[in-house]
Structure 1
Amino acid sequence: MKIKRRKKLTINGLSKGGKISVYIGMILMSIIALFPLVWVVISSFKGDPLAEPGFALPSKLVFDGYISVFKDMNILRYFGNSIIVSLTSVVLSITMISLSAYVVARTEFKGKGIVTALLLSTMFIPATAMTFPVYNLVNNMGIHNKHSGLIFIYTCSGIAVSFFIIKNYFATIPKEIEEAAFIDGCNFFQTFTMIIFPIARPGIMTAAVLAFMNNWNEYYWSSMVLIDKEKLTVPALLSQFTTSFSTNYNGLFSAIVVIVIPPIILFCCCSKYFVEALSGGAVKG
């Protein structure tokens, strides 16, 4: 069986005017996306961002915020907390979602539509609506103020988006590949781990990266579940710069810059998986 990759989407088929419009649109979107980040970076080098607002360059470069973040607040400890919580929850959630998405996408069973609808319906439930039952459940399980409690919440959060991405990618893989694997003696689990999983890696990695960035940037549950300061994740740490009487904007902006660096690096390293997943880069026979 001849296997070939689908052609990637390009703009070579557009007219000159169409290409110019596309480039102008991409430039505008880039400016809009980078606007707040550039503003925060510039403000982090100002001694008093309120005295020098906007995009005005600082009259004097001030590194006190960065020194305070690494030396006084020991942000590396909170980085470790975020990495442990985010990675563990991503591994657990993506493993479960990949298996369930594979069954839904590749097999026929009674109630398949209901199962799919139930999983996707979680996309429309806001986190605030689930605050009391989830918080009460975490307390009853005895995992309040523990990283395991946050991991439990993150593992069960964002199921709909990851399921949608992975299921749709599984659906693009020809069934002939599975049939050939069964003929060669592979069982259902071996077919998934040895054949389907490597082919669907772009879709699975896309869902994993999106889940990681969502967990890394999550503030609502991290500030509610974790109480002890040494257990906080980096988003919850930002509240330490604000008191009832004042806000340390220089330290706050410096911490924000440090916090957003890991997701940016992760996205740059895994951007090829996004391209393959969004362009339908599976195989066809």
Structure 2
Amino acid sequence: MQQNSAHNPTQNPATLASAQAALSFKNLHLELGKKTILRNVSAQFNYGQLTVLLGPNGTGKSSLLKVITQELPIRGEVFFNQKTVQNWCSRALAKQVGVLPQSSSLVFNFSAQEVVELGGIALDCANAEIQHLAKQNMQRTDTQHLATRSYPSLSGGEKQRVHFARVLTQLEQSGAKKVLLLDEPTAALDLSHQHQTLTLAKQLAEQGAAVVIVMHDLNLAAQYADRVMILNNANIVADGTPWEVLTEDNIEQVYQCKTRVIAHPDLGYPMVISAI
């Protein structure tokens, strides 16, 4: 189904390649055991753009983020602001690129605010300022009421929002040109906090950040993304605006599931509904 262009809030696909690249990568190849996870993948993520990575389980979405942040060994090149990440000082890079993983292995009995304050380790400011920034970012993520709670006692969704506040604190000295890599940030959240988290991510992109989100919910991706990239069979198989990428043919080919794609009656973004 074609979208009415009057309802299209996303960026023109022609601007994707011309936009200023925050992160780019060339010929990334990753193998884990005998399985090829990424096969010579090349792309870029741009400032001022919220990109959602979609694809079935096990197709390399989270692995791509781990490759970019050098958590996994790869063949290929990764660049931040046109310079290979290996040539960046780790402290300087930490002020510019924030990563929210799917889950955290943190088990120490820190309070929630102390976890958020960990984001200030690389900042050039006093402890009192870090505490102030942490409180501000806990308000932005609706976690201020959890400040004195023991982190291990929090629910999965509460922990995820606390870590989002930590990432925001980490990037406080980056200015508008920051990079956020968020791996399934809404997976453990209730409906209200899903939209709150994605609204905040969207605002950061509108202010100039490059935001990359791994997600499984096609409708949330359609609502908030400027750009959607689908990974499947170790490659990028679709890349463009939500209306270009979230077609019935693409969804059936990638997910082996029949759907209908219609325009949201009020907001105009594509809505994916089951046709089974």
What TM-score results when the alignment is normalised by the length of structure 2? Answer: 0.23
Higher Cα Rg, which structure: 1
What TM-score results when the alignment is normalised by the length of structure 1? Answer: 0.23
Higher helix fraction (1 or 2): 1
